[in-house]
């Protein structure tokens, strides 16, 4: 398994890398008083969440009061400075454990199979006996030799919802919605079945609890 570690001197440079290079990070360690203090660490992560809702964020701060801002942007962990090495290893171990459960589904194509991380799936589109899986990374797609219902069963314990007979969306990438459609963070617009809106609203509300 290969790991890539990037270091940024400011929050603005992190945002620029994500927006311009389509970089996606599994985990981000950030000082609450990052860089030149033009923006707090929480403000930087709030901007990041507009395009990347999956990154697990670990905050470090000299002030316990910063923990409230950390919670607002769904931080994975919050630690008071000085940084203790054991805390880093503990956080990494907890993160790995959290991703082992329901973190991938099996995709079948041309008599072969591969695993796909569920947190990279924006939505799935039914195409008869097959499915088209739309991914976050550069809007790539994967053709799957299986029905939408079969994919839905694999994603049962994840943040996915069947909003239409032909579409299964990932709540992580919902940007906005109305009674008739859902706009996703990649710009695609997905229809909501007329009898699904109320249930969608309730399930989406639970997603934030």
Q: Number of structural domains, the chain?
A: 2
Let me know if residue 196 belongs to a domain: yes
> Do residues 68 and 35 both lie within one domain?
yes
Q: Are 188 and 134 in contact (CB under 8 A)?
A: yes
Examine the pLDDT at 11 and tell me if it is beyond 70. yes
- What's this model's pTM, rounded to 2 decimal places? 0.55
Q: Are residues 200 and 122 in the same domain?
A: yes
> Which CATH number characterizes residue 148's domain?
2.40.50.1020
Q: 149 and 54, same structural domain?
A: no
Are 184 and 128 contained in the same domain?
yes
Rounded average pLDDT over 89-101: 74
Domain hosting 29: range is 11-100
pLDDT over 90 (residue 198): yes
Distance CA 98, CA 150 (A): 24
Question: What is the reported pLDDT for 99?
Answer: 62
| Mean pLDDT computed over 72-96 | 86
Q: How many CB atoms lie within 10 A of CB 96?
A: 12
Same domain for 136 and 163: yes
């Amino acid at each position: 398994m290969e790991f890539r570690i990037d270091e940024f001197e400011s929050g603005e440079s992190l945002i620029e890398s994500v927006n311009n290079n389509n970089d996606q990070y599994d985990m981000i360690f950030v000082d609450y008083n990052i860089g030149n203090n033009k923006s707090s660490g929480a403000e930087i992560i709030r901007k990041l969440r507009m395009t990347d809702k999956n990154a697990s964020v670990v905050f470090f701060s000299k002030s316990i009061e910063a923990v409230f801002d950390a919670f607002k942007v769904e931080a994975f962990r919050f630690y008071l400075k000085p940084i203790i090495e054991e805390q880093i290893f503990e956080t990494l171990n907890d993160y790995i454990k959290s991703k082992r459960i329901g973190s991938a589904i099996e995709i079948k194509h041309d008599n072969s199979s591969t695993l796909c991380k569920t947190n990279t799936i924006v939505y799935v589109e039914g195409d008869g006996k097959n499915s088209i899986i739309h991914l976050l990374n550069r809007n790539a797609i994967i053709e799957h030799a299986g029905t939408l219902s079969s994919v839905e069963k694999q994603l049962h314990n994840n943040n996915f919802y069947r909003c239409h007979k032909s579409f299964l969306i990932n709540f992580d990438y919902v940007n906005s919605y109305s009674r008739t459609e859902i706009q996703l963070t990649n710009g695609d617009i997905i229809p909501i079945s007329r009898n699904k809106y109320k249930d969608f609203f309730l399930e989406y509300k639970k997603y934030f609890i």
